[in-house]
Amino acid sequence: MKFRWLVALAAGALAASALLTQGVSAADLAKAQQIATRVCAVCHGTDGNSTLATNPVLAGQHADYTAAQLRAFRSGERANDPNRMMRAVADKLSDREIAAVAEYISGLR
């Protein structure tokens, strides 16, 4: 029983240290979860698994890729957004929020 507890504690510490080395704090992830459930979920599903063919599945997407796409929407570099919805969403996000949302989304399954 003690061994399982130690393994769980070590796993939690490793996960936390991995997030902190990427610059995403627990508070950032909590805010990212709020953004994802309030904003992203409207089009991409509450768990990041969109059921609409026009809206991509975000769950499990690599954080670096998601962050790059959000920055591209924000800058206008990625302009294949006919309703400008993604640009409007990304315009409101700071670089720190983009990193946190991308990290949060990468953990969804």
SS percent in the chain: helix, strand, coil, step 5: 65, 0, 35
Higher pLDDT, 64 or 80: 64
Q: In the CATH scheme, what is the code of domain 24-106?
A: 1.10.760.10
DSSP conformational letter for 43? H
What is the distance between the alpha carbons of residues 28 and 108, in angstroms, rounded to a whole number?
16
Confidence check: pLDDT of 19 > 60:
no
Higher pLDDT, 81 or 18: 81
Pull the structure tokens for residue 69. Answer: 């796409």
Contact 105, 35 (CB under 8 A): no
The overall average pLDDT reported for the chain is 84
Pull the structure tokens for residue 70. Answer: 């959000």
Split at pLDDT 50, 70, 90, the class of 17 is: very low
pLDDT in tens, 23-59: 799 999 999 999 999 999 999 999 999 999 989 999 9
pLDDT at 79 (0 to 100): 81
Give SS3 for 81: coil
Helix (H) or strand (E) holding 72: helix 63-75
What is the distance between the alpha carbons of residues 48 and 20, in angstroms, rounded to a whole number?
23
Among 12-21, 39-48, 53-62, 66-75, the range scoring the smallest mean pLDDT is: 12-21
Domain ranges across the chain: 24-106
Contact 61, 45 (CB under 8 A): no
The residue-averaged pLDDT of 79-104 equals 91
pTM of the full structure = 0.75
